[in-house]
Structure 1
Amino acid sequence: MKTTKTLLLFFLFAITFTACKKDEQIAPAPSITALEVGTSNSKIAHPGNDLHIEAEISAPGIIKDVVLEIHPESGAGWNVNTTYTEGFAGLKNAEFHKHIDVPADAKVGLYHGHLKVTDQNGQVSEVEFDLQVTADPSLATATGFEVGLNTAGNDLHVEASITAPNKIAKIVLEVHGNGWKKEVTYEDAAVIGKTTYNLHKHIDVAAAPKGHYHVHLQVVDQSGKEVEFEEHFDK
């Protein structure tokens, strides 16, 4: 009887220990999908403009941080090494959507990029991409790009001075953040065909909940080239 009881206790302990070990299994590593680099995933950047980078992140083990690195394929040049936690840490799923400033003096040539996600278990997933930095003086530019929210929190003021050697085809303003998004396209006679345009618009954001927002200014010229610029505001 004592032997039987001892064996039963042993098997009970073994089953309990195995169940606990199963409960303690580490979640799968993070994943990064739908990576898009540059306008329409062109993988091209231009000095003095923004570089659009977007991806979908999934981390069953909860995101700790996201790191973006960009460096020249060889020699010296423009470098990026930025760690993002705000808007990512503590989440299982997140959209990475950033516009990276490319300095006006960035060296043209071939670059290499890494987008890395680390979860709270220390597991890391990484995707790599190639990038070409090339000068194009015919691209549209936007200087003095500013956004401002009125005290009531319902009206967003947007302004910029736009120059487009190939003439403007349309201007798109997009506001997004905190699960809310609004896009407005301007294709009226005051815009189309102009080589210079002083943008001064007001967007109704009364329906946007409190939070941090991104404002994207996209200029498309009549040759089909697109450039995009980004600003931020808090509501």
Structure 2
Amino acid sequence: MKTNIMKSNFKLLAIFTFLGLFLNSCSSDDDGVSDASAPVITNFEFGEGSDHSTEPFAYKGSDLHLEAEINAEGIVRSISIDIHADDVQVGEDEVEWDYENTYTNASYLVINPTFHEHIDIPSNIPAGEYHIVLTVTDELGNSTEIEGHLEILDPIVISDFSMDTTVQRGSDFHVEFMIDAVNGIHNITVDIHAHDLTIGEGEVEWDYEEIFEDGFHEEIEAEFHKHIDVPLTAPAGEYHVLFTVEDEDGNTKEYETHIDVTA
């Protein structure tokens, strides 16, 4: 009788041992999936696309270079880029820029790919600081992201502007400012015109436009310093003054102001 009980206990012990080993094996298999290392992103760099710069800035109207090394135990399923602004103000004739793209090129859907892309930067977005996030996801569902900050700059900057606020007709007024143009200056246009001024006896409507190129063409940095004559016959009143700097890539920067012409 005791022998039969012992045999039964031995069989139960064997069954429990088998079940324990089986469940432990399943658990180990599950852990093998969930514990697989997530992709590792190294040497993440971004900057001006023209010279593959690693400095974290680029210019409106140009392109942005991005590159990163990816080490992944599982085959990469996708690589995503997200670029959005951090508290930049959208000016007149500008639009907000949020960039998102997911790359599934065959060259990236491998183990340990090198990510390398160029992204066009619109010319009509606000300059300022942008947040950039690179996310890598593998076929096991593991994902890793790395982030940084990108400064988007104007390709043309007008600074230290100074101009007379009033001018007597028959004389001239003075204007000067500094220009920084990373692509080189093509020309500078000055446009002066009035709105709804009454033309008196002996007066002639005055619309002024002149393009300045000599001394500025292809210069990266220059000082604009001119004296502009106002005809003696110009009607007195307020005039709108617009300065437009165009660079060698066709980008433009405007600066507008007003001047009062007195009799």
What TM-score bracket applies, with the shorter chain setting the length? 0.5 to 0.7
> When the two structures are aligned, how many residues end up with a matched partner?
146
Length-normalised TM-score, structure 2: 0.50
Q: CA-to-partner distance for each residue in 1:195-235, whole Å, 9 max, x for gaps?
A: x9xxxxxxxxxxxxxxxxxxxxxxxxxxxxxxxxxxxxxxx
Q: Does the CA-based 8 Å contact 1:139-1:165 persist in structure 2?
A: no
> Deviation string for 1:122-178 (max 9, x for gaps)?
32211111000012343349xxxxxxxxxxxxxxxxxxxxxx9469xxxxxxxxxxx
Mapped partners of 2:106, 2:126: distance in 1 = 31
Distance 1:98 1:166 in 2: 30
CA distance in 1, matches of 2:26, 2:219: 66
Distance 1:56 1:166, change over 3 A: farther
Distance 1:87 1:46 in 2: 30
Query: Percent of aligned positions with the same letter in both sequences?
Result: 34
- Looking at structure 2, the residues matched to 65 and 15 of structure 1 have their Cα atoms a distance apart, in angstroms, of 37
Partner of 2:130: 111
From 28, 43, 47, the equivalent of 2:37 is: 28
For 1:66 and 1:2, locate their aligned partners in 2 and report how far apart those are by CA, in whole Å: 59
The correspondence of residues 48-67 of structure 1 with structure 2, limited to 5 A, is 48-67=61-80
Relative to 1, partners in 2 of residues 1:17 and 1:104: Cα closer, same or farther, differing over 3 Å?
A: same
What runs of 5+ residues in structure 2 fail to find an aligned partner? 1-6, 91-95, 157-180, 185-216, 221-247, 249-263
Q: Does 1:125 align with 2:138?
A: no
Instruction: Write the deviation string for residues 60-82 of structure 1: whole angstroms up to 9, x where unpaired.
Output: 23322111000110155322100
Between the aligned partners of 1:166 and 1:93, the Cα distance in structure 2 is 44
Larger radius of gyration: 2
CA contact (8 A) 1:35 1:55 kept: yes
Given the alignment of the two structures, is residue 11 of structure 1 paired with residue 24 of structure 2, yes or no? no
Secondary structure of the 2:122 match is coil
Which amino acid counterpart does residue 51 of structure 1 have in structure 2? L
The CA distance in 1 between the partners of 2:135 and 2:145, in whole Å, is 4
RMSD: 2.5
Aligned to 2:60: 47
- Residue of structure 2 equivalent to 1:37: 46
The CA distance in 2 between the partners of 1:4 and 1:165, in whole Å, is: 94
- Normalized against structure 1, the TM-score is what? 0.55
3-state secondary structure, aligned to 2:141: coil
Separation in 2 of the partners of 1:34 and 1:89? 16
